[in-house]
Amino acid sequence: MTMDLHEQARQILRGNDRGGYTLPTHGLYPYQWNWDSAFAAWGFATFDIARAWDEFDTLLASQWDTGMVPHIIFHEVDPSYFPGPDVWSTGQSPATSGISQPPVAATMARLVWEMDKAAGHDRLAEIYPKLVAWHRWWHEVRCVHGPAAIIHPWESGRDNCPDWDIGMDGVDGSRVGPYTRRDTGHVDPSMRPHKEQYDRYIAMVQFGVSVGWDQRQIVADGPFLMADPGITFILLRAHADLIVLGEVLGHDTSEIEGWAAQLRSALPEIWNADLGAYDARNLRNGRFAGVLGSGALLAYVADAGNPTLDEHLIRVWDAVSYGIPSADPQADIFDARRYWRGPSWPFLNALIALGFREMGRHDLDARLRRETAQAIAKNGFAEYFDPHDATACGGANFTWTAAIWLTWAG
Ligand code: 2M8
């Protein structure tokens, strides 16, 4: 049984491989996505280490001159996804989107390097300066208010999670003009964001186009700017991994140490004392989202957990059966199958578990691993699962689900 699933997982990675880059899944996501790629590399490293490093190369080859690594790279135009390169209109070649995504690449590069240090040394040396430039971009462009900020929910990777509701309220989606969504043609619409949310997503893209994707201007004047606990923790963690990699390569890492110290000192700004948890925050007016989301629980990956947060973790986790839910099951906004508003995401479980292991909480790691593995064994390599009964949701044959099976869950 287990052997079969391992073989299936490898076949999914091979099947989604487009020669140097990997699709999240066929149909629904026909391009290269930033953080999906980093997880793909981790999965490939279990059976083809050279191919793992190729994935980082293709991702970082599309880095902008500013250091930003975009969230989608449109290698070959495919009309089955909206919004495509014509809508983003960034003028990059190959075409890319105009926002970034959670910077997990340095963390994944470290994991891949650790799996074969000799094979990885030169490949690591090639990508290291690009990773540093990307982290510098986060520090200088997105961390100007302290915690890491996002200018679009898509930048968080946790698109329609409740964290962004208060920021989305301020975005006018009524004038975006007609467009045809493609996502709801591939998967059950009840598992995807609502139309009102999509209108606003597109309005934010249109704003970016209107200012020529000048990122500083978007941060200063754009329709949406929120502090993201998820990216703040992922970046903190990735800074630490980048420092380790820099030391291995003999580089001076003091600049990265400075970014990490500054980011850690900003954590109190995203601690919502009323909620007793880290929380997303609208940087235009200082308001907290007031909901416990998966971003807050990423604190464990950055060694930023505490006993108050632990209570929430166990409370939301005990309310379901198949991994950590992406929203609080006891809150009104919880929706067990709607994308980032409740489902359990295997790759995110794997990331949180990384933190559990490093804290010495092997009991929590074992539980999360067991529940995630049960969902996959029951219903396949789905994009995400109903956390109550493990119903497979979203796309099938999903790259990052296969990858974390090979590296952790399986
Ligand atoms: C989802 O996001 C894209 C937009 O970027 C979409 O819904 O069209 C998110 O789950 C995101 O985190 C992920 O990287 C992407 C591809 O798997 O899909």
Please indicate, yes or no, if residue 137 is contained in any of the structural domains. Answer: yes
**Over pLDDT 90: what percentage of the chain?**
99
- Domain contains 36: yes
Phi, psi of 73 (to 5 degrees): -115, 120
Angle at 269 between CA 266 and CA 273, to 5 degrees: 135
pLDDT at 143: 98
226 falls within a domain: no
Residue pair 271/265 in contact by the 8 Å Cβ criterion: no
pLDDT at 188 > cutoff 60: yes
The pLDDT assigned to 166 comes to 97
- In terms of DSSP H, where are the helices of 164-293? 165-168, 183-186, 195-210, 215-221, 229-248, 254-265
Does an H or E element contain 150, and which? strand 149-150
Q: Whole-angstrom Cα distance, residue 27 to residue 190?
A: 18
384 φ/ψ sector (left φ>0, alpha ψ -120 to 50, else beta): beta
Residue 200 lies in a domain: no
- Of the candidates 342, 343, 356, the residue with the CA atom closest to the CA atom of residue 309: 356
Mutate to test the pocket of ligand 1, among 16, 35, 154 (most ligand atoms within 8 A of CB): 154
Pocket test for ligand 1, best of 33, 96, 99, 385 (most atoms within 8 A of CB): 33
CA of 405 from ligand 1 middle (Å) equals 19
Domain count, the chain: 1
Atom of ligand 1 nearest to the CA of 193: 7
For residue 337, give its domain range. 2-147+233-268+302-409
CA-CA-CA-CA dihedral for 171, 194, 159, 32, to nearest 10 = -110
Q: What is the residue with the minimal CA distance to atom 7 of ligand 1?
A: 159
Q: Which residues contact 406 (CB under 8 A, 6 or more apart)?
A: 6, 9, 10, 13, 43, 46, 47
> Ligand 1: which of 29, 81, 383, 384 to mutate, most ligand atoms within 8 Å of CB?
29
**CATH number, position 21:** 1.50.10.10
Q: How confident is the prediction for the chain on average, in pLDDT? A: 97
pLDDT(180) > 80:
yes
User: Given this model, what pLDDT does residue 3 score?
Assistant: 60
Q: State the angle between helix axes of 254-265 and 229-248 in degrees (0 to 180), rounded to the nearest 10.
A: 160
Q: Which atom of ligand 1 is nearest to the CA of 36?
A: 14
Catalytic member of 17, 55, 155, 159: 159
Let me know if residue 186 belongs to a domain. no
Q: Is 175 exposed, middle or buried (0-12, 13-18, 19+ CB in 10 A)?
A: exposed
Across 185-199, 202-216, 347-361, 386-400, least confident range: 185-199
* 3-class DSSP assignment, residue 289: coil
Asked if the structure places residue 361 within a domain, the reply is yes
Average pLDDT of the residues in 85-113? 98
pLDDT in tens, 235-266: 999 999 999 999 999 999 999 999 999 999 99
Q: What confidence score (pLDDT) does residue 82 get? A: 96
Q: What is the pTM of this model?
A: 0.98
Helix (H/G/I), strand (E/B), else coil: 162: helix
How distant, in Å, are the alpha carbons of 16, 82, 178, 353, 371 from that of 322? 26, 31, 39, 14, 5
Which residue's CA is minimally distant from atom 4 of ligand 1? 154
Whether the CB of 157 sits within 6 Å of ligand 1: yes
Smallest CA separation from ligand 1 atom 1, residue = 157
Answer yes or no: is the C-beta of 67 below 6 A from any ligand 1 atom.
no
pLDDT exceeds 50 at position 1: no
**The pLDDT of residue 176:** 96
383 tagged catalytic: yes
**Rounded-to-integer distance, Cα 23 and Cα 14, Å:** 10
Residue 184 CA to ligand 1 center (angstroms) comes to 13
Would the CB of 29 count as within 6 Å of ligand 1? yes
Q: Residue 190 carries which side chain, given as an amino acid letter?
A: S
Mean pLDDT of 200-219: 98
pLDDT in tens, 20-52: 999 999 999 999 999 999 999 999 999 999 999
Q: Which of 88-102, 184-198, 275-289, 387-401 has the lowest mean pLDDT?
A: 184-198
Give, in order, the Cα–Cα distances in Å from 311 to each of 288, 314, 315, 320, 389: 20, 5, 6, 15, 23
Question: Is residue 318 domain-resident?
Answer: yes
Does 154 contact ligand 1 (Cβ within 6 A)? yes
HSE-CB at 91 with a 13 A cutoff on CA atoms is 8
The tens digit of pLDDT for each residue in 276-324 reads: 999 999 999 999 999 998 999 999 999 999 999 999 999 999 999 999 9
For 115-130, what is each residue's pLDDT tens digit? Answer: 999 999 999 999 999 9
Number of H helices, E strands in the chain: 18, 9
Percent of the chain's residues with pLDDT above 70: 99
Residue nearest to atom 12 of ligand 1 (CA): 157
Average pLDDT over every residue of 171-190:
94
| pLDDT value of residue 270 | 98
Q: How many angstroms separate the alpha carbon of residue 154 from the centre of ligand 1?
A: 7
In a domain, 91, yes or no: yes
| Residue 114 burial by Cβ neighbours in a 10 Å radius (0-12, 13-18, 19+) | exposed
Other C-beta atoms lying within 10 Å of the C-beta of residue 295: 32
